[in-house]
Amino acid sequence: MTRDPRIFLGWNAPVLDTMVAWLARDWEGSGPLDLSDHLVVVHTRQAGRRLREGLARHAASREAAVLPPLVVTPNYLFSPARLAASIPPVASPQTARLLWSALLLRLPTTAFRRLFPVEPVERHLAWADRHAAEFLDVRDLLIESGLDFSRAAEKLGESQIETARWQELASLEAAAITLIEAGGFRDPGLASLEAAHASALPAEIKHLVVAAVPDLRPLAAAALARHAAAMPVSVLIPAPATEASAFDPFGRPLPDAWLEREITFADPANTLHPCAHPLAQADRCRELLAPYADPAACAAIGLPDPELAPTIEHRFAAHGIATFDPAGRAVAREGIAHLLRLLSDLFTGERYETIRQLLRCPGFAAAMIPESRRGSLRTGSLLKDSDALAGDHLPGGLDDAIETLSCRPDKAATLAAVLEGTRAFLVRLHKGDFTDELCAFLSAVFAEKRLSQHDLETAVFAEVAAAIHALESDLAAATPPFPKKPGADERFYLLLSALGDGRVNSERGPRDLDLQGWLELIWEDAPHLIVTGMNDHAVPESLVGHAFLPDSARRLLGVPDNDSRFARDAFVLTLLSESRRANGRLDLLFGRFSAAGDPLRPSRLLFQCQDSELASHTLRLFRESETGHVPPARTLAWQLKPKPLPADHKVFTHLSVTGFKTYLTCPFRFYLKHGLGMESV
């Protein structure tokens, strides 16, 4: 870029307000606010939603409408979708991953001993998929930096960093690209590299704006520089112009300027809050929100550590505080995903214990028996018979349970019918069409479910249905290279793996309290911001001991490293503090222990102070936790309390030789067996 594209907007006001004001700077208020010729790059989709809402409110304040800009995330700049339509099409990420898995299943691992130093005990699809995912994650990092395995191997070879290992990765990549192209597709990684240097923006776009993106990837920056030759490019930075030397031309904080920089707070004593554990952090949040009649109107909560989200959601819900996660709800946490996991376990192991869990899933038992018998189904009696069968006969598997019940045709007839129906369903799933049988099963299980258009469960079911059919199409494209066609057990694995990353968005209620990730807080304009989980593993985000890209290799390759992440997060924390220094409040909470009881350290960013203040600052951080104590050790929810025996009981007057042996082994078990007449199960 020939000119400096940076525009500094200051950090004494909310980022959303300054960005809206800059975009509307030339609007006089007559007619609509027309930004339809602008393309605005923001860090996350949630930031894009906030920007569009802010522009709409600004226009509405003058009783006008807004023609919004095209708001995108940085990946848009190198998305293969930006390439002109061509043949062959670009492989979907899941298709590419399946083809990499097929390659690994056929691979002579002896030729790749630096990647596979030990021969796997069994080479199956799950093994191949895990390794394919690991390789592709590394490759995606390289692609975002304008590299691939081949180019990275050349660069690292010059520095003698694991040369042979990276050459094997380059050879593996070349073989995978050949396999993808043989399947009639283009490699998505190479397509992204091409898109950054050859794709075109929509014809109506006349101005490109990067709005508060503190870690623009190198490939996106290269695409931005290319577009700067054809149109104006503005990089908006929420910092004062006096900080120009602390940022590069693309608005990224420079490590040299931020690694040792002091981060100050308006009132440190009341800003930093040590808490014992996640529940204590949730309770401290509620205490800080207690003075507000409507917390959602003036406060927001940040969650740099996503592991805290379930605790805070459940704790708030228990006290009648509604929350909203802009990232959506994980499909893997929904009931239908639990049902599919149990079904997968049953298919692979046929354990009776799994069937007992499935019987507790609404609709499963009814789906396993003929429709004519469903009206007489009584869930309570069915579960009672199931538990009695488990306690009396300890069947290990489905066949054991069916055989046991066949000897007692007069008892538990409904349970026997359900088990027979389950056996028939497993046979159909094994021999028939996986997609058809699974869809028919889910239709039967949820036949009585009534859904509304805006119900969250409707979105969950739509996501699951889309994943099932996408898996079918991806397998159809990737199956030929596999040594054998993936069976139902492997399809279950792939389906659950795909659902593990799925999320669904719900409607935000007017009084819902936002729970946002670390980088989304840049756009949060609530005057009172509470940030939880300010611990060293979450902020600053850092990587330790990466199998392929340690920090030294990242610096050589230009991949974002720990120093660049530290600089980014130091800038973000400074921004959150400065934007609320005069008219707002910032509270930072950090835990002493995780939910599992592991000790945690406060974030290193909280120690960025003057040397003369370090001792007092450290004492402040490590003072006694304000809320909660370390949770006690886990205890049993129910304890056996046997009744005392009468003084004239026979165990006190007579003791056989074998009984004496039992007593010496365990007096308590002797008491249970010979005194109370109990039997082991």
> Mean pLDDT across the stretch 469-484?
88
Written as six digits, the tokens of 330 are 């994980």
Phi, psi (rounded to 5 degrees) for 15: -60, -40
Q: Does domain 268-328+508-621 have CATH number 3.40.50.300?
A: yes
> Mean pLDDT across the stretch 454-462?
82
> Mean pLDDT across the stretch 256-269?
90
Least confident stretch, 74-78, 163-167, 591-595, 606-610: 606-610
Of the candidates 194, 113, 104, 179, the one whose C-alpha atom is nearest the C-alpha of residue 148 is 194
Place of tokens 């030759």: 229
Written as six digits, the tokens of 442 are 């889910």
Tell whether the torsion through CA atoms of 408, 414, 416 and 420 is positive or negative.
positive
Q: Report pLDDT digits (tens) over 600-646.
A: 999 999 888 887 778 877 877 777 655 555 555 556 666 777 778 88
Say what the pLDDT of residue 436 is. 93
Say what the pLDDT of residue 459 is. 86
Which fold, 6-79+201-251?
Rossmann fold (3.40.50)
> Mean pLDDT across the stretch 59-67?
94
Say what the pLDDT of residue 87 is. 74
Query: Distance between CA atoms of 493 and 432, rounded to whole angstroms?
Result: 18
Of the pLDDT bands very low, low, confident and very high (cuts 50, 70, 90), residue 505 is: confident
Say what the pLDDT of residue 638 is. 64
Instruction: Give DSSP secondary structure letters for 383-404.
Output: HHHHHHHHHHH---BHHHHHHH
Where are the extended beta strands (E) located within 117-250?
A: 207-211, 233-237
670 pLDDT higher than 90? no
Of the candidates 469, 436, 609, the one whose C-alpha atom is nearest the C-alpha of residue 461 is 469
Say what the pLDDT of residue 655 is. 80
Q: Report pLDDT digits (tens) over 331-353.
A: 988 899 999 999 999 999 999 99
Least confident stretch, 67-71, 470-474, 577-581, 674-678: 674-678
Phi, psi (rounded to 5 degrees) for 205: -75, 125
Say what the pLDDT of residue 401 is. 92
Q: How many other C-beta atoms can be found within 10 angstroms of the C-beta atom of residue 526?
A: 21
Q: Which amino acid is at 649?
A: H
For 43, 69, 77, the CA distances from 72, given in Å and listed in that order, are 8, 9, 9
Q: How many other C-beta atoms can be found within 10 angstroms of the C-beta atom of residue 120?
A: 12
Phi, psi (rounded to 5 degrees) for 183: -85, 5
Say what the pLDDT of residue 195 is. 93
Say what the pLDDT of residue 415 is. 92
Q: Report pLDDT digits (tens) over 388-412.
A: 999 888 899 999 999 998 887 777 8
Q: Report pLDDT digits (tens) over 542-599.
A: 777 688 999 899 999 999 999 999 999 999 999 999 999 989 999 999 999 988 888 9
Say what the pLDDT of residue 155 is. 92
Provide the terminal-to-terminal Cα distance of the chain, rounded to the nearest Å.
77
Q: How confident is the prediction for the chain on average, in pLDDT?
A: 89
361 pLDDT higher than 60? yes
Say what the pLDDT of residue 327 is. 82
Written as six digits, the tokens of 11 are 């950090």
Query: Distance between CA atoms of 10 and 579, rounded to whole angstroms?
Result: 9
More confident residue, 152 or 377: 152
Say what the pLDDT of residue 302 is. 95
> Mean pLDDT across the stretch 168-197?
95
Say what the pLDDT of residue 627 is. 52
Rounded percentage of the chain residues whose pLDDT exceeds 70: 96
Say what the pLDDT of residue 633 is. 55
Q: What is the chain's Cα-based Rg?
A: 31
Say what the pLDDT of residue 634 is. 55
> Mean pLDDT across the stretch 325-333?
86
